[in-house]
Amino acid sequence: MKIFYSENHRKHVPPFEVFDGGKRVPYLENPDRMDKILSALGKAEWAEFIAPSDFGLAPIRAAHDEDYLNFLATCWGEWINSDPNVAAAPQENAFLPATFALRRTTRKPTTLLGKGGYYIMDLSACIVEGTYRAALSSANCALSAAEFTSRSGQTAFALCRPPGHHAGKDYAGGYCFINNAAVAANWLSSKGKVALLDIDYHAGNGTQDIFYERADALTISIHGDPQFEYPHYIGFADEVGAGAGLGFHKNFPLPAGTTDAQYLSALDEALNMIRNFAPKYLILSAGMDTFAGDPLGSFKISRNGFSQIGKRISALNFPTVIVMEGGYANAALGENIVTLLEQFL
């Protein structure tokens, strides 16, 4: 299996994030996640690592607002130039706004902190010097995997960091800045219908935002119910698309403590929808934070559960691009993703 991966992900290393209640904690979405996956894949004879190609900004702009991308590109430089304290110790700092726009108007701020609150939805989307470069490389991993799959018809794995599925058209959130899976899906959509299945523990709100009014892509997310889980304001069962996209989005919000059997039941329903849609390509947003014991999840999915998930998705037999999303039980992360990937060989 072709594994598209870039060392540029290491340039994104925020020194902290802020949890509920204002507690500053070490950044959970860290390079150790990739090291654990690389170590596990390194033991697999079938894994072939390839550096991504540079697709330029055009396919990213096709999925994201240009002003938002400009903010990502210029934020750190503007901030460090405006604050001597940050310039003196950049490795100890990360850009985060203190206010967040409620989006009840379309007025865009002009100040840096105002733009930060407008374009960032939470306190985990921390921006440091290397964030934008890492995010571009991550998107190029997904695009390179999509390009390979479109040529070969074979499954490919985009080992993306930062992840992407919480990034909407014009906002960052949940460790995500550019929506890698959505960028790849949009690129593939010019070649035929695309289905995008998100199996991360958290709702794929950004993907939903990008495709919500489109009929050329079926988007499905299986996740913890936003009544109790991040992102709280999107991912409910009655959100089914709008306009031309009505009926082309489906959320499966599941309760805390969801077991393998409960999860597989929802997955089977999702897979039937994909079969009926009959896409030319499938994008799989693969988050491993459904694993029992993940620090940011409440599901009880076992390693055997991941094997069954991969087996059932693979049985669809569509050319598939697998895009890495979340998963924060680092000690088990590598083996979990390898267990999933093995079902696609």
Does the pLDDT of residue 106 top 80, yes or no? Answer: no
In this structure, the strands spanning 24-25 and 17-18 are: antiparallel
Reported as a single tens digit per residue, the pLDDT across 272-281 is 999 999 999 9
Reported as a single tens digit per residue, the pLDDT across 233-273 is 999 999 999 999 999 999 999 999 999 999 999 999 999 99
d(CA 345, CA 342): 6
The answer to whether the peptide bond before residue 231 is cis (omega within 30 degrees of 0) is yes
Q: What is the mean pLDDT of residues 73-97?
A: 94
Report residue 99 as tokens: 């206010």
The residues annotated with a catalytic role in the active site are: 166
Domain range 2-342, CATH architecture: 3-Layer(aba) Sandwich (3.40)
pTM of the entire predicted model: 0.98
- What is the strand order of the sheet 320-324 is part of? 48-50, 2-4, 156-158, 320-324, 281-286, 194-198, 217-224, 249-254
Reported as a single tens digit per residue, the pLDDT across 184-212 is 999 999 999 999 999 999 999 999 999 99
Reported as a single tens digit per residue, the pLDDT across 291-337 is 999 999 999 999 999 999 999 999 999 999 999 999 999 999 999 99
